[in-house]
Amino acid sequence: MVSNLSPQSQYFLADINNVQQMISAASREISSGKQVTQASDAPDVVSELLQLRTAEQKNSQITSNLTLAQSDANVAESALSSATQLMDRAVTLATQGATATTDATGRQSLAGEVESILDEMVSYSQTQSAGRYVFSGDQDAAASYRVNLGNPNGVDRLITPTATRQVENPAGGTFTVSETAQTIFDDRNADDSLASDNVFAAVNGLRTALLNNDQAAVSESITSLHQASDHLNVCLAFYGDVQNRIRDASNFAANYEVQLKTQISQKEDADVAAASLELSEGTAQIQAAYAMEARIPRTTLFDFLTTG
């Protein structure tokens, strides 16, 4: 296409167009607060921004998972802390029942209190957090145990879940955040027989010995109760470690979030002061250009012919 504009006019329009584009870009930055609002604004940084956004979303999900795990761990730790105190009370009752001065009536009375301890211990195995059974592992919609005094360990095992759930550490790796009620309260040997540190069995064994007025059996139960108590403390320590690991991971995630937001801001946010200056300078340049253009003489061939 052939233009009837002079080279000087073409240069003038091109310069005006460049300044207008600068003004338009500055106006967008001021109104949006962003220097990158679409891919064409800064093609060289779009890929980096996408990677940073993806990392931010992943870190946000990890933080959410850690928050949920922290809530569950806190509830579990509180329940086990109370359970260890119950075991201490059971040891005290066993020691009292093992004395020669305690008669059959006294042991019957102690047996009633021990039965209450077993009931409470089972209730701790049914501990819930946000409607989920925290000691039911991967089957957290159902309780793992209920009381059944007819069984040697005083309970019915309702499910046999595994606890495979892990949370991701934003610093790298994953870690387990829970144990099952069987691991904690109903420890078993490889052949599924009751282990010597089985909490339910130790408490129910004491109850049975007291009901039978069997002083020797009551005395022997103290050893099982101590083993069960030690086992509970190990499980309590596990959740204490989980709480610490979640806290450290959450702190890392919070710091990482700040870093990501800073990097995104550096690449995406506008320098409003600089954009305002560009807008002001661009407007002034256009006004000056139009003023200068208006002063340029416009002489044509017709002007020469009419004056000749």
- Joined together, the tokens standing for residue 238 give 């596990």
Mean pLDDT of 220-233: 98
For tokens 């190990």, what's the residue? Answer: 234
What's the rounded mean pLDDT across residues 205-231? 97
Residue-level pLDDT at 286: 61
Mean pLDDT of 144-161: 97
Check the CA dihedral 19-21-23-25 and report its sign.
Answer: negative
Closest CA to 110 of 199, 185, 197, 212: 212
Q: Reply yes or no on whether the pLDDT at 124 is more than 70.
A: yes
Whole-number percent of the chain with pLDDT over 70: 72
250 or 11, greater pLDDT? 250
Query: What's the rounded mean pLDDT across residues 108-119?
Result: 98
pLDDT for the residue 279: 52
User: How large is the average pLDDT for residues 286-305?
Assistant: 58
With vertex at residue 68, the alpha carbon angle to CA 164 and CA 254, rounded to the nearest 5 degrees, is 115
pLDDT in tens, 176-197: 999 999 999 999 999 999 999 9
Give pLDDT, residue 275: 46
Put residue 257 in one of left, alpha, beta given phi > 0 → left and psi -120 to 50 → alpha: alpha
pLDDT of the residue at 48? 84
Residue 269 is predicted with a pLDDT of 58
Report the alpha-carbon angle 202-208-213, nearest 5.
125
Is 70 exceeded by the pLDDT of residue 12? no
Q: Which residue has the tokens 């700040």?
A: 258
Encoding tokens for residue 124?
Answer: 């701790």
Contact assessment for residue 249 and residue 166, using Cβ atoms and an 8 Å cutoff: no
Mean pLDDT of 3-8: 55
Q: Measure the CA–CA gap between 98 and 77, rounded to whole angstroms.
A: 32
pLDDT in tens, 18-58: 555 555 555 555 555 555 555 455 556 677 888 888 999 99
pLDDT band at 2 (very low <50, low <70, confident <90, very high): very low
pLDDT score at 295: 60
- Using an 8 Å Cβ cutoff, are 180 and 91 in contact? no
